[in-house]
Amino acid sequence: MGERRSRERRDLRCAAVTGMAVLMMLLGFAGTAAAAPISNFPPTPSLPAYSGSAADSQPVEDYRRPPQNPFLAKNPFSNIHNDTWMTDAYPGPGPTGLNPVTASGSGGPGICATLATDQRGRLVSVCPSIVAPPQARIIDPDTLETIATYDLPDGPPLGDTPAFQDYTSGGYFFLDERDRIWVPTKTNQLFVLAQTEAGDGFRLERTFDLSGVANPSRERISSVLPDFRGRIWFVTKQSGTVGTIERRTGKIRTIRLKERVQNSFAIDSGAVYIASDRRLHRLWAGRDGRPRIEWSVRYRNTGKTKPGQADAGTGTTPTILRGGLISITDNADPMNVVVYRTGRKLARGLQRKVCEVPVFGKGAGASENSLIGIGRSLIVENNYGYRDPFNPETVNAITEPGFARVDIARNGKSCRKVWTNSEVRAPTVVPKMSAETGLIYAYTRPPDPSGALGYYWTAIDYRTGRTVFERFAGSGLLYNNNYAGITLAEDGTAYLGVIGGVVSLRDGGT
């Protein structure tokens, strides 16, 4: 037994080191159209390549589309969480598991964490890397070939953020209504990249310099988004500086929360919601454009950075729901799904907090991804136990299992846990939901007797929490998605950025 475990550890270290070597080799391919399949590394998984069965689509009846921000690409294709409500839900289809077909394409170093979709139906991304500058890309959705690239300014890592959890300059960009990428750089500039007329390249259309209010040697911009009036909002990670940019003049106005903000934020027609490592804040801009806090609420917090989390706070971008509600997870133990009322002022007798529902087990629950919000339901994924994939000692860490659904009562006064799936282990993926198929899509790594690092596309039934099907995607470090999010195209194909490139899943038909 001891010899076998030693052999497995050697195999895993070899896989990690080999994966890094290949990743370095990919530097030579960055910017080319080559999309060779991503290589698998031993050991070979012993689990079946496909399990489960195809599902009959069961549309979610109470799904309603979130409002369309006129300054963003068409919902749900503008940012990592689909829309400014951050619902992570799609009105259209996803794979049903009918003769599923997988594909992969290598596209240079960097993880394309957000895959937006332009008006030509192509994938558009910004891909941060630990070995190369961040790079904007246009990717062919059929061949997974890289059509165009644009290298963004690089910068030294900041010591307070592990390299594998640093998604500044790319993790949170947005695509606007004219197919332009708005992305903060590691030099704390905001680049606006337009596509060439032929759609085969990028050009830098405009730059906003934010380094005067956010020194790039001390802090980085986490995310940028437009509100429904076109005003650009941004937030920095280390000090929680919240700012607005007036598009025409470029004038910047800021306030400082003095709290860390790891994730993106949510926007409604008249409010911006930001979750720091201590509180959930509602903000809006005054007549002078300066952000102001309209209310704040503190959530439960152990004060500890759980394995899988990027800091000691909520790992979730806030999710807005209809009926004047918003939700995050807290950092209690066990972790809770927490729902709040969004109103600036509340009627007499109403509390800001609607409910908090514990999910997963004590000492085994953490989230570093936004909740899926669909109808009156919230879907939460467990990321507890994820470790640095580039460290040979932690590359084989298995996360705790868990997906759960929490529903808000129709009267908006209470919540209940509907189901828990205790089988699926999704280390870090941003899961997505199809309202048309009634399936939740995840990217998982189940324990394998062979010790292999096998990754699987996984579908979960929204109604029951049952695992519907699993389809093998690939094995080894290069198939690790490391916090990237799933995208569903209009034809139902699922895409995901991984360390080695992009992977896809689609139905093969009869």
What is the structure's pLDDT at 451?
Answer: 87
- pLDDT of 444 > 70? The answer is yes
What is the structure's pLDDT at 44?
Answer: 84
Confirm if 168 and 156 have CB atoms less than 8 A apart.
no
Please tell me the distance from the alpha carbon of residue 365 to that of residue 383, in angstroms, as a whole number.
Answer: 7
Pairing of the two strands 271-275 and 279-285: antiparallel
Of all residues in the chain, the percent with pLDDT exceeding 70 is 93
Please tell me the distance from the alpha carbon of residue 368 to that of residue 374, in angstroms, as a whole number.
Answer: 19
Please tell me the distance from the alpha carbon of residue 273 to that of residue 284, in angstroms, as a whole number.
Answer: 9
* DSSP classification of residue 76: T
- The per-residue pLDDT for range 178-226, each reduced to its tens digit, is 999 999 999 999 999 999 999 999 999 999 999 999 999 999 999 999 9
Q: What is the dihedral of CA 29, 31, 33, 37, to 10 degrees?
A: 40
Alpha helices, H only, 147-218: none
Burial of 369 (0-12, 13-18, 19+ CB in 10 A): buried
Please tell me the distance from the alpha carbon of residue 382 to that of residue 317, in angstroms, as a whole number.
Answer: 15
Mean pLDDT of the chain: 92
- pLDDT of 279 > 90? The answer is yes
- The per-residue pLDDT for range 224-272, each reduced to its tens digit, is 999 999 999 999 999 999 999 999 999 999 999 999 999 999 999 999 9
Cα-Cα-Cα-Cα dihedral sign, residues 2, 7, 11, 17: positive
- The per-residue pLDDT for range 33-57, each reduced to its tens digit, is 458 999 998 778 999 999 999 999 9
Residue 337 lies in domain: 2-506
Per the DSSP assignment, residues forming a β-bridge with 283 are: 272, 293
- In the chain, the amino acid numbered 468 is V
Residue of 445, 468, 464, 441 whose CA lies nearest to 456: 445
State the DSSP string of 148-164: EEEEPPP-PPPTTS-GG
What is the structure's pLDDT at 190?
Answer: 98
More confident of the two residues 13 and 78: 78
- pLDDT of 14 > 60? The answer is no
This prediction's pTM:
0.94
- pLDDT of 409 > 60? The answer is yes
pLDDT band at 5 (very low <50, low <70, confident <90, very high): very low
> How many domains does the structure of the chain reveal?
1
What is the structure's pLDDT at 354?
Answer: 98
Length of the chain as a residue count: 510
CATH code, domain with 220 = 2.130.10.10
Please tell me the distance from the alpha carbon of residue 277 to that of residue 238, in angstroms, as a whole number.
Answer: 10
